[in-house]
Structure 1
Amino acid sequence: MPKQITPLLRVLLGATVLAVPQLVHAQGGKEADLAARLERLESEVTQLRTELAAARSRQDETAATAATAVRKSDETSVQVTRLADNTPKLGFRSGNTTVVLSGYVKLLASNARYSGGGDPSNTLGRDLYLPQSIPVFNPANPTSPTRVTDFSAKQTRFWVDATSKLGKHALKAYIEFDFQAAPGTPQALGQGTQRTTNAYDLAMRRAFIQLDRWTFGQDFTNFSNPAVFPESTDYVGGVDGLIFVRQPMVRYSLRLSHGLTLHLAAENPETASATAGAPVLIENGEDHAPDMTGRLEYAGGFGFLDLAVLGRQLRVDNAKTGAAHIVDSRPGWGVSASGKIFLDDKHGSDIRFQATYGEGIGRYLGLNFGPDAVLQTNGQLAGVRNLALFGAGRYALDDQWRVNLIASYQRIFYADTLDPATTAGIAMFNRQAWSVAGNLFYSPLKNVDLGIEYRHGERRLVNHLNGHVDRFDVAAKYNF
């Protein structure tokens, strides 16, 4: 090796010796820095994983909350729909009063077969089932069975409901009309006939005002709860054994406890008597004391149960008969138990019943099927007792279809002094009536009801003469 190269190698070796420690030190620093960075990255990754898990958890909770909200929204929508269906119509405002107009239009087509001859045209018995109008078959004067067909829209009804809030007081006025209740014949009322216009007078059914617990005006008698009336194509449905009276009254309602209410009323009196030998009922108009009624009602989610009592004075001024007793009176009384029991949570199916017994209550039962009392030839009133039974079952097949079965019965017991064995004075008086019916209703649209019904009814007299009717009805009704 040349000599001049040796010093250079020495210099290079020395520099290398001096540089190696620095390189080693530098390399160690880089490894430490990389390790620190790795730790920071691992820490950041861990943190990101934690945040990701938290985000996913929050997302799951949000999804669950959203699902719950959707479910609650659906439930709320259903509740709102039900509430809207059950809430009275808004109507319109007049000052501080809300006025609602409601009602229904109804067409009834009926075909009836009478075993004892026909019921005259344009009479109440042709428009609805009325047991006292069923002709009886008399072997001494036989008649052939008669079949009749009638169409009528007389049962069309509307009402006005006005409510106000006056400070802490609730005020309500209600008036209801239909075309069925007008008395008399079309000719007597100057109406049209079935031959031409079929026009019928408007008649007041109910008209009253309510101020807090008080009711003043005309309504269904407090002796009964009309909520027991069955769903029927007929005007009443099962009238034989039902209490059915509308009349003026003053009523007071007191809530005794949760679900328990007491209703007390003083109602219009009217003694409907008959004279021995003449079954025609007479409105005497000589009453002095009002009919007093009390009804205890217990209502809840199951339905309701009622217990009602009636006390009255029967009074007849028979001066025109020349009888020994110018004026005669006697007490009348009655008790009734009724109710409606729901069979499902939707209240679509139920059973309804009423049982009534009393003396001097003839005009309250079966549209006055029997007299309150019988005026004898000696000028005294003889008592008349009544037993009335009614039952109905309603079964909802679904939201549109339902079936109703109805049974009704009334029996009249006359005083012993009027027994047919001792006098023929009441031979032609009504003794009993009963009927059974079944129907099917279909609601293709909300507030539209289509119904078909068959009814068999029988009337029997004290002398055992009887007659029956088989009635077939078809009805269409739109509630508004």
Structure 2
Amino acid sequence: MRVLLGASALAAPQLAGAQTMKEADLAARLERMESEITQLRTELAAARSQQDETRAAAADATRKSQEASAQMSRLADGTPRLGFRSGNSNVVLSGYVKLLASSARYSGGDDPSNTLGRDLYLPQSIPVFNPASPTSPTHVTDFSAKQTRFWVDATTKLGKHALKAYIEFDFQAAPGTPQALGQGTQRTTNAYDLAMRRAFIQLDRWTFGQDFTNFSNPAIFPESTDYVGGVDGLIFVRQPMVRYSLPLGHGLTFHLAAENPETASATVGAPALVENGEDHAPDITGRLEYAGGFGFLDLAVLGRQLRVDNAKTGAAHIVDSRLGWGISAAGKIFLDDRHGSDIRFQASYGEGIGRYLGLNFGTDAVLQANGELARVRNLALFGAGRYALDDQWRVNLIASYQRISYADDLDPATTSGIAMFNRQAWSVAGNLFYSPVKNVDLGIEYRHGERRLVNDLNGHVDRFDVAAKYNF
């Protein structure tokens, strides 16, 4: 017994040591297993993250591919991203709301209230006076929102053809006075009729409808608080036409148009203009345009028939007609890469082109007592400079001039019947525009304009405008 107990006493430490070694070994194995599991989890998380990134990249690539396809489709259809869809057409509504406050001082009397000359600068409406017996100057102030404008632009893709429809309105172009039209007056509601300015359709290179005459490019019109700005020497006509535009390559495009004819004549002794409505042939205009990064240059020509049926006058010639012609050079040249600053110009000369210049400042021809039409020639010059001070401020300087010469047999030395006809008009203006936020323009402008008749009676106006406009 003692022997067994002694042997057990000797074996116990050895068993305890063996058990401790096994526990340590197991602990080491567990630690290694935990380390390997942690590493596996880390590798699994990395794999999953990489897989997620791959999926995200694939989804992003798919999205970009879809956007690119949609953009290519829009470009192919020729439909802008603005507006809304109506059938297979994209329709855009746009325009602006404008308030104009004007204060004018006339040297030779008053321009009657509710006339076009009170709403905008119109040289033929400047009152004239005799320097030998001057008239007291008058000062008038008017507020108006008539120049508010909006337009509808619709584009449609028809196979390989591009179709466009455009219509534009404002409240300034309505003819007559508010009283004549049954509208409100300045005393009460100041309501004014909506009037069509432009309305045309375009199919590829063809244009059908009413637009600015092809004899000029409206892109040269200056930035102004006024309805036109420097109208004295500008070609300014909107009328129905059929126009074809032919790209010639290298920035050249030729525009050819047949336009609505109308002879605006005056009779010896009566300077008031008359629309005869007896025209047989359309006015033909051609314009060659060269455009590039610098801007554009235009050379335009006009050919027309002037025709008056004077049967009611009892003259020997029942019907008389003569040829009218004109030539014009114009352009816009950018002064910086951002196209914020530029110069604009136009020079025109011709015979029988009175209604095309200065809102019909002069007559196309003069109907004489013998029933014949006497020639009238016009020289018109216009120039404007626009300088952008920064993204919000810009300055515009504008100068405009027109001179009318009549046939020798209508010289006032021998014929007193044209003494009251317009001879000359000119104006200079300067303005400052500020855009506090996008789409909002605030402007102030000063203009001095003069008008002179054949008999040297003259008058001038000093006009100060303040305008606010929101473009949408």
TM-score by length of 1: 0.81
Task: Give the CA RMSD over aligned residues.
Answer: 1.1
TM-score by length of 2: 0.83
Do residues 272 (structure 1) and 264 (structure 2) align? yes
Do residues 450 (structure 1) and 442 (structure 2) align? yes
Do residues 467 (structure 1) and 459 (structure 2) align? yes
Equivalent residue for 1:362, pick from 329, 341, 354: 354
Equivalent residue for 1:154, pick from 133, 146, 159: 146
Matched residue type, 1:319: A
Do residues 93 (structure 1) and 85 (structure 2) align? yes
Equivalent residue for 2:217, pick from 225, 228, 231: 225
Per-residue deviation, residues 56-79 of structure 1 (Å, max 9, x unmatched): xxxxxxxxxxxxxxxxxxxxxxxx
- Counterpart residue number, 2:390: 398
- Is contact 1:274–1:280 with CA below 8 Å preserved after alignment? yes
Residue 137 of structure 1: how far off its partner (Å): 1.3
- Counterpart residue number, 2:320: 328
- Counterpart residue number, 1:106: 98
The 1:206–1:329 alpha-carbon spacing in structure 2 relative to 1, beyond 3 Å, is same
Between the aligned partners of 1:265 and 1:378, the Cα distance in structure 2 is 34
After superposition, residues 151-190 of structure 1 pair within 5 angstroms as: 151-190=143-182
Matched residue type, 1:114: Y
Between the aligned partners of 2:390 and 2:80, the Cα distance in structure 1 is 24
Count of equivalent residues = 395
Matched residue type, 2:347: A
3-state SS of 1:199 partner: coil
The 1:123–1:89 alpha-carbon spacing in structure 2 relative to 1, beyond 3 Å, is farther
3-state SS of 2:371 partner: coil
After superposition, residues 422-437 of structure 1 pair within 5 angstroms as: 422-437=414-429
Between the aligned partners of 1:89 and 1:400, the Cα distance in structure 2 is 26
Equivalent residue for 1:294, pick from 261, 286, 291: 286
- Is contact 1:89–1:100 with CA below 8 Å preserved after alignment? no
Structure 1's unaligned 5+ residue stretches are 1-86
Residue 324 of structure 1: how far off its partner (Å): 0.5
Between the aligned partners of 1:425 and 1:362, the Cα distance in structure 2 is 19
Residue 138 of structure 1: how far off its partner (Å): 2.4
Matched residue type, 2:466: V
- Is contact 2:384–2:399 with CA below 8 Å preserved after alignment? yes
Matched residue type, 1:102: S
Per-residue deviation, residues 404-445 of structure 1 (Å, max 9, x unmatched): 000000000000010001010100000000000000000000
Per-residue deviation, residues 334-368 of structure 1 (Å, max 9, x unmatched): 00000000000000000000000000000000000
After superposition, residues 254-269 of structure 1 pair within 5 angstroms as: 254-269=246-261
Per-residue deviation, residues 369-420 of structure 1 (Å, max 9, x unmatched): 0000000000000000000000000000000000000000000000001000
Between the aligned partners of 1:286 and 1:348, the Cα distance in structure 2 is 46
- Is contact 2:80–2:90 with CA below 8 Å preserved after alignment? no
- Is contact 2:107–2:138 with CA below 8 Å preserved after alignment? yes
- Counterpart residue number, 1:371: 363
- Is contact 1:349–1:395 with CA below 8 Å preserved after alignment? yes
- Is contact 2:225–2:444 with CA below 8 Å preserved after alignment? yes
Matched residue type, 1:191: Q
Equivalent residue for 1:195, pick from 184, 187, 194: 187
After superposition, residues 5-44 of structure 1 pair within 5 angstroms as: none
Between the aligned partners of 1:307 and 1:109, the Cα distance in structure 2 is 37
Residue 88 of structure 1: how far off its partner (Å): 5.5
Between the aligned partners of 1:347 and 1:294, the Cα distance in structure 2 is 27
- Counterpart residue number, 1:69: none
Residue identity over aligned pairs, in percent, reads 92
Between the aligned partners of 2:355 and 2:142, the Cα distance in structure 1 is 28
Residue 454 of structure 1: how far off its partner (Å): 0.1
3-state SS of 1:417 partner: helix
Matched residue type, 1:180: Q
Do residues 346 (structure 1) and 338 (structure 2) align? yes
Between the aligned partners of 1:459 and 1:176, the Cα distance in structure 2 is 32
- Counterpart residue number, 2:307: 315
- Counterpart residue number, 1:52: none
Structure 2's unaligned 5+ residue stretches are 1-78
Matched residue type, 1:451: G
Between the aligned partners of 1:141 and 1:199, the Cα distance in structure 2 is 39
Say which one has the larger Rg: 1
Between the aligned partners of 1:185 and 1:321, the Cα distance in structure 2 is 30
Between the aligned partners of 1:127 and 1:150, the Cα distance in structure 2 is 8
Between the aligned partners of 1:146 and 1:89, the Cα distance in structure 2 is 52
Equivalent residue for 1:380, pick from 360, 372, 397: 372
Between the aligned partners of 1:256 and 1:318, the Cα distance in structure 2 is 45
Per-residue deviation, residues 220-248 of structure 1 (Å, max 9, x unmatched): 00000000000000000000000000000
- Counterpart residue number, 2:274: 282
Do residues 249 (structure 1) and 241 (structure 2) align? yes
Between the aligned partners of 1:470 and 1:94, the Cα distance in structure 2 is 49
Matched residue type, 1:293: T
3-state SS of 2:219 partner: helix
Between the aligned partners of 2:242 and 2:160, the Cα distance in structure 1 is 22
3-state SS of 1:187 partner: helix
Do residues 130 (structure 1) and 128 (structure 2) align? no
